[in-house]
Structure 1
Amino acid sequence: MNVLVTGGAGFIGGNLAERFARDGHSVTVLDNFDPFYDLDIKHHNVETGREAATDGGGSYELVEGDVRDADLVADLVADADYVYHQAAQAGVRPSVENPRKYHEVNADGTLNILDACRDEGIERFVMASSSSVYGVPRYLPYDEEHPTTPVSPYGASKLSAERYACAYGEVYDFPVVALRYFTVYGPRMRPNMAISNFVSRCMNGEPPIIYGDGTQTRDFTFIDDVVEANVTLLEEDAADGEAVNIGSTDNIEIKTLAEEIRDQLAPDLDLVFEARHDADAEHTHADTSKASELLDYEASHTIREGVSKFIDWYEANREWYEPLVRRS
């Protein structure tokens, strides 16, 4: 298969590109190397993808460019059988400062790819959506019928992209699936996430910082589970035209998460609390019954198991990863 992965040097896209290349597919990665966090992590993802292609008999090509470049996108989609659209301007809080950039990348950029997919007739378009599309919960866990009322420009831009994708699939008759990820974490994760920050600070004798009172809850999803859901859509015809939650169903308070990481690594440290940002979600919790039905999806890691794996990986890769986390 010829697989195009946009945002393929990032955390989720990098893990997908690595898996597809290791499985023997021809992978093209498009990434603009936006300096949202330390770019050396992205370069490491690229090298890991290239090594996977060598080991698995696939191929790996990196194209440095932007989804906002419609001509470039059209050229790349023309050679693809499957498009895995992971590229996005990430970050809820920064989206409040610069909402137009989030719309340009996440909505307009997605439209460029969809236009190319419509014109070329690809096998399937799979996009990364987000739990941020739901906004303030009216009930928990979120199922896919929950109202979508995002409270940040980031969430609004992801919802716009998702709705465009499903509309294009319906009107122009090509398979589209939107996967709504719930706070993905694991090896090579973005350095500005709660889990990576908690682990880094505790390993260096610094107290974890919690924004708010710590009673907010999250449904954290281990990266391997996200990859498996995407691989299913490469191997099987499923969930066409659907938006589907990909979460863990294992909900935890942020304060409890910080305490458990602290207790494993530096039990003498106190927790530090700072002001919560208004755009941060109070609670997220995924109902994954639709994913189970359509994709045979089942999360394989509880938050405690996943965090333990991440800590082990962090310790083994501390020499290169930790300096990047701490300067991002």
Structure 2
Amino acid sequence: MKNKVLVTGADGFIGSHLTEELIRSGYDVRAFVYYNSFNSWGWLDTLSSEVKKELDVFTGDIRDPYGVKEAMKDCTHVLNLAALIAIPYSYHSPDTYVDTNIKGTLNVVQAARELGMEKVVHTSTSEVYGTAQYVPIDENHPLQGQSPYSATKIAADQMALSFNKSFDLPVAVIRPFNTYGPRQSARAVIPTIIGQLAAGQTSIKLGAVSPTRDFNYVKDTVNGFISVMNSSRSVGEVINIGSNYEVSIGETAEIIAELMNVDLHIETDEQRLRPSKSEVERLWADNRKAKELLGWEPIYGGKEGFRLGLKETIDWFTNPQNLATYKTDVYNI
């Protein structure tokens, strides 16, 4: 294909899956990974040799405008996934979220404007909606910064969209709901549950179990990114990518325990609880816009799709080689 696609945050959970799928689909991909002295490419290191040999890896820092622009040279499209995303960490280190999420986004769209890129896909999050004021949540729902993380993502979204309005830069904002699947960090609830159970703990530690989420399997999220990138109708738009299925954290834990054939007891761990006004109590995606504009629909939608996605996730995490990379007895902030 003539397009060369830059994926920022390619070393992360969603970014590695997206990079892998793009390469398998025949795209020319440059993977922007966070520079470190260990020469680690994050989850890209675990990909097959046939995929890795096709990788064009650029090590840098999304906070540095010069490196970002250098990485984007010769690329036609950029999928911007580089971000700090852990909500608890944002409570005590908010400044790093401003630099990474807001300034990082500015670096991407400014370079894209100067280089005349064909498309920028900026990654948002369902956390920008805060606790649902109505359900299902469509793209017109009010934005509520209930954590420093979500506040910086609101600002980053608006920064990206402002470059479309101000400079006619072809920007689209993809807003995935709670993505889960293999390789996800243990800071997220589904790996936390699976990891503790896989390590033999039948009494597991969680935070609040009453909030609901719209969990989206990573393969569906990846297909959403590619659909947004390839659609001319996505320019200037914010598009939810979600399963349109709402489930509580508590019920999610019960389903996982059933699939793993283990008894479950949940202990409330105070350090895992968000401040009461910061907790997002309810998320449920309206995905009609994605269907209408992109023709995208979740393959893993509904209760049965959720169970299927969980089964694939459990299979990955319970592989001893994969489980060994997680500290299941330590709270991952």
- Structures share a fold, TM > 0.5? yes
Residue 251 (structure 1) aligned with residue 242 (structure 2)? no
Give the deviation of 1:53 after TM superposition: 5.3
Residue 45 (structure 1) aligned with residue 47 (structure 2)? no
Distance across 2 between alignment mates of 1:114 and 1:291: 23
Give the deviation of 1:294 after TM superposition: 0.8
Residue 108 (structure 1) aligned with residue 103 (structure 2)? yes
2:317 alignment partner in structure 1: 314
Q: Identity rate of aligned residues, in percent?
A: 31
Q: 2:307 aligns with which of 286, 304, 308?
A: 304
Distance across 2 between alignment mates of 1:43 and 1:66: 14
Q: Which SS does the other structure have where 2:265 is aligned?
A: coil
1:177 alignment partner in structure 2: 172
Distance across 1 between alignment mates of 2:224 and 2:189: 24
Residue 211 (structure 1) aligned with residue 207 (structure 2)? yes
Give the deviation of 1:321 after TM superposition: 3.7
CA deviation digits over 1:236-288, x for unaligned, max 9? 32211011111111111111111121223253332212332123311111111
1:277 alignment partner in structure 2: 274
Q: 1:272 to 1:34 in 2, by over 3 A?
A: farther
Distance across 1 between alignment mates of 2:325 and 2:120: 36
Give the deviation of 1:204 after TM superposition: 2.1
Give the deviation of 1:181 after TM superposition: 1.2
- The aligned length equals 318
Distance across 1 between alignment mates of 2:46 and 2:29: 13
1:12 alignment partner in structure 2: 14
Q: Which amino acid aligns with 1:307?
A: L
Give the deviation of 1:80 after TM superposition: 0.8
CA contact (8 A) 2:44 2:52 kept: no
Q: 1:148 to 1:34 in 2, by over 3 A?
A: farther
Instruction: Kindly report which structure 2 residues correspond to 1:230-249, keeping only aligned pairs within 5 A, or say none.
Output: 230-249=225-244
1:288 alignment partner in structure 2: 287
Unaligned runs of 5+ in 1: none
Residue 123 (structure 1) aligned with residue 118 (structure 2)? yes
2:326 alignment partner in structure 1: 324
Give the deviation of 1:51 after TM superposition: 3.0
Q: Which amino acid aligns with 1:4?
A: L
Q: Which amino acid aligns with 1:319?
A: Q
Give the deviation of 1:324 after TM superposition: 2.5
Q: Which SS does the other structure have where 1:4 is aligned?
A: strand
CA contact (8 A) 2:121 2:229 kept: no
Q: 1:34 to 1:100 in 2, by over 3 A?
A: farther
Give the deviation of 1:169 after TM superposition: 1.3
CA contact (8 A) 2:13 2:184 kept: yes
CA deviation digits over 1:18-64, x for unaligned, max 9? 111122222111121689xxx97x5342441763254xxxx312222
Q: TM-score, normalised by structure 1?
A: 0.91
Q: 1:165 aligns with which of 147, 157, 160?
A: 160
Moved more, 132-141 or 251-260: 132-141
1:82 alignment partner in structure 2: 77
CA deviation digits over 1:137-189, x for unaligned, max 9? 21122111111112111101111111111110122112111111111111111
CA contact (8 A) 2:173 2:238 kept: yes
Moved more, 202-211 or 3-12: 202-211
Moved more, 259-268 or 305-314: 259-268
Q: Which SS does the other structure have where 1:277 is aligned?
A: coil
